[in-house]
Structure 1
């Protein structure tokens, strides 16, 4: 289970938004639907997920109906605030959304579409474990309006999967991709590098296997050791080694080179997409994740999910049983709320926008910080050509040292 929720102000019982919120109806709106169930807990994971022994009376078979209740609540709240608008993107995340019957996911998507509307050409993504995707599942999702499947491959090397406590069969990644393609879905695969015992050769084997699948999009994340996880405890006891930062940097550089050679273009520090049907690589970027990085509006449905509307943030109670109890009682499941001040919002803006290829407008930086861009160019961290066009865009070295760039541009 994830760590503690943020400390914020009490959330209103009815979920109502403040009357002074600067609603901008033209701001894109997204929906995140959290499915907090997993068969087993991966040793590195600190997401808000639960195995069957941790549900304390909450039932997976009731979950879709419970989440649909929050959708109805959200529609009323947004309508009252003048903030109701169609969804530009929808994302089913977890956990493992495809542990639920595909029909349940379809019901949830239909309820959200009926409540808010769905823009033409909207992106609708479902995360999936390779072992849970069959042709029937993929077709049901496609028929419901899903456009994209994000498959948790993580590695193609058995001992690396074992180190991560991943239980899927590597061969099932190809099966899942083929099923998605047959149903007409776009495909993304997720990889993790830097697992205990993983060599550079192991990582390149996984990269080559991922490229052989010919996906539209690849995410490659460095393994981060989160407090409270099984992996953190193993490292603390000396059972497995701490990830090697230099090796992870070599793995990132190898990924960027191999992906570029295969026609993929980086658009966020950990994400690459490739051109489709003669169009640019932007066609296959995750528009939902870009909505987060650009700070647009979204409502997060489900236990522990976070939401953001016009500068207001709130988050739901964590446990599925508490979440269901709140909604059954006619209450909002929100546990707390906050409105970050201008300084906090600027820090977040720099942190997020500097990570994407489109970059951060130099003019958006406070005046004293703009002069620091020249030093970042001299250090090889920021592209000089982009800076001449008024943007902070990271070089490969800058992507490896992205946190240092943020520290230089903020206090």
Structure 2
């Protein structure tokens, strides 16, 4: 979860939701996100809500599973007393931080609690993120035995000097090992990449993409490095110690990875994500982009139910105190009005392969469609069928496309 929490209204201490959250809930999928906020080291580019051991201020990693389980149990009460109907989780996602810094039994216990409290659909997607140096063969096998179906490895690069700039600690030669162990355990595999790191050349990027393809993953994520204010990397760039990412080079890198992955049989289904087929698309992330419901567990985690969005207190110590005292960990929340929900619908649905229905646009957005076709930013054939689908060029300029669709 990103480090900065949005502005909003204070959340009630009992966590109860307004009546609007229950409207049409049966028509929406439900997922669970469990945030594990611990890292061995803080990467210089990272703006997520994560903490190394010296930053925990008395919070204990060894207590975290019990605290998350307490929130899962309380989530059932909140939804029931808010008249939101019970739905089995179609996706469960453990993110971080580094979830696999915890003992595997802790992850399995938290997953078992999701099954007890909310239920888990028979065909659910159950994912954990993992650093390549935080798991071994036995750990991955026990994840699979405990009900996990998928692992997402934070590979980021196959080039040592790029990993060093990102302050990633794993040896790139470990990637084939962890992928083989995950396959042996029966887990689906996703590999995550970052492009545009200071000092990374197009040849470096090609090396990383080739290394990914050599592992034949089910899913690949490739994100442009974004320099977030307040991070160590931002300070290094400001002091002139490293160069800022080059937008033109990042565009070349995106076109390269899209071409290479497509040629290898991985199709894009979201601007930064590719999969071998529909079954291997990240259903958990698709739920975010489609505006479904999810409960976020843990410090700084965000939740969304029926247009009501809320976020937990950020620090693990504050979170632990809330859970031990029986008070909701929610710090603030907002109820999205129709105008905000429209903006978010255009912003998010335009990013995925199925696209956005032209009919959902306001008049200004519909009038922009012809120009977007002429500029080769949206697919002409899809537009004639009533949907907005980005071309590769459109994916590179997605924010500009959204502004035009919103009439800005």
Quick check: TM above 0.5?
yes
Contact 2:47–2:228 at 8 Å: present in 1 too?
A: yes
Say whether the 8 Å CA contact 1:350–1:360 is kept in structure 2. Answer: yes
Give the drift of 1:3.
Answer: 3.6
Match of 2:355 in 1: 359
Match of 2:253 in 1: 251
**1:70 shift after superposition:** 0.2
Gaps of 5+ in 1: 275-280
Match of 1:224 in 2: 226
* RMSD after superposition: 1.0
2:381 to 360, 382, 385: 385
What's the CA shift string for 1:55-93, capped at 9, x where partnerless? 000000000000000000001111222332100000000
For residue 389 of structure 1, report the CA deviation from its aligned partner.
1.1
Partner of 1:207: 209
Residue 171 of structure 1: how far off its partner (Å): 1.2
What is the DSSP-based 3-state SS (H/G/I as helix, E as strand, rest coil) of the residue aligned with 1:308? strand
SS in 2 for 1:44: coil
- In the TM superposition, what is the alpha-carbon distance from 1:2 to its structure 2 partner? 4.9
Question: How far, CA to CA, are the matches of 2:192 and 2:58 in structure 1?
Answer: 32
Identify the residue that residue 10 of structure 2 maps to in structure 1.
10
Give distance in 2, aligned partners of 1:82 and 1:46. 33
Aligned mates of 2:71, 2:376 — CA distance in 1: 48
Runs of at least 4 residues off by over 3 Å: 1-4
Which of residues 287, 301, 308 in structure 2 aligns to 1:312? Answer: 308
Partner in structure 1 of residue 262 of structure 2: 260
Residue 185 of structure 1 corresponds to 187
- Within the candidate set 84, 87, 90, 1:85 is matched to 87
**In the TM superposition, what is the alpha-carbon distance from 1:105 to its structure 2 partner?**
0.1
Offset of residue 367 of structure 1: 2.4
Query: 1 CA distance for matches of 2:4 and 2:305?
Result: 22
Measured in 2, the distance between the counterparts of 1:359 and 1:136 equals: 41
User: Match of 2:391?
Assistant: 395
Residues of 2 paired with 1:245 and 1:160: CA distance? 17
User: Normalization by structure 1: what TM-score?
Assistant: 0.97
Counterpart-to-counterpart distance in 1, 2:332 and 2:19: 17
Counterpart for residue 58 of structure 2: 57
Count the aligned residue pairs: 405
Q: Secondary structure at the match of 2:27?
A: coil
Is 2:20–2:306's contact at 8 Å kept on the other side of the alignment? no
SS of residue in 1 equivalent to 2:176: helix
- For structure 2, list consecutive stretches of 5 or more residues without a partner in the other structure: none
Partner of 2:37: 36
What does 1:8-407 correspond to in 2, within 5 Å? 8-21=8-21, 22-80=23-81, 81-274=83-276, 281-407=277-403
Q: Distance in 1 between matches of 2:121 and 2:104?
A: 22
TM-score by length of 2: 0.98
- Distance in 1 between the 2:20 and 2:174 partners? 51
**Does the 8 A contact of 1:23 with 1:83 survive in 2?**
no
Question: Is the contact between residue 364 and residue 405 of structure 2 (CA under 8 Å) also seen in structure 1?
Answer: no
After superposition, the C-alpha distances for 1:235-284 in whole angstroms (9 at most, x for unaligned) are 0000000100000000000001100110110000000001xxxxxx1111
Deviations, residues 168-212 of structure 1 (Å, cap 9, x unaligned): 111111111111101000000000000010000000000000000
**Which 10-residue stretch deviates more, 385-394 or 362-371?**
362-371
CA change 1:353–1:226 in 2 (3 A) is same
**Preserved contact between residue 90 and residue 123 of structure 1 (Cα < 8 Å):** yes
How far apart are 1:343 and its partner, in Å?
1.3
1:405 Cα deviation from its structure 2 partner: 0.2
SS of 1:90 mapped into structure 2: strand
Show CA shifts across 1:273-323 (max 9, x none): 01xxxxxx1111000000000000000000000000000000000000000
Deviations 1:111-138 (A, max 9, x none): 0111001111100000000001211111
Q: Give the secondary-structure state (helix, strand or coil) at the position aligned to 1:125.
A: strand
> 1:17: how far off?
1.2
**8 Å contact 1:23–1:82 — kept in the other structure?**
no
Q: Which residue of 2 aligns with 1:278?
A: none
Residue pair 1:259, 1:265 contacting (<8 A) in 2 also:
yes
Q: How far is the alpha carbon of 1:23 from its aligned partner?
A: 4.5
1:365 and 1:373 map into 2 onto residues whose CA distance is 10
